[in-house]
Amino acid sequence: MRSHKNTVQTEGDDFSLSYHCPYCQQVLLSRAPYKNEVWESSICCHHCEMIIYSIFYHNRVDAFRLTAN
């Protein structure tokens, strides 16, 4: 039997952070890092397709615009 590891879970802690895109203000969801981890990455908003520089903490996300506008 194949495992279903790639199935997106809608319950549990897999997607436990929600935050707002700094461009379009739509809600984005993300997995949360473990308590002592911080993730930095530039992600593409799937609503407006702008690049967001994001710092993910265990319980929050800081999201920044990369452009002045």
Q: Which residues bind Zn ion (CB under 5 A)?
A: 21, 23-24, 45, 47-48
What DSSP string runs through the chain? ----TTSPPSSSSTT-EEEE-TTT--EEEEPPPPTT--EEEEEE-TTT--EEEEEE-SS-EEEEESS--
Decide whether 19 or 58 has the Cβ nearer to Zn ion: 19
Decide whether 23 or 56 has the Cβ nearer to Zn ion: 23
Shortest CB 27 distance to Zn ion, Å: 10
Decide whether 43 or 57 has the Cβ nearer to Zn ion: 43
Shortest CB 64 distance to Zn ion, Å: 13
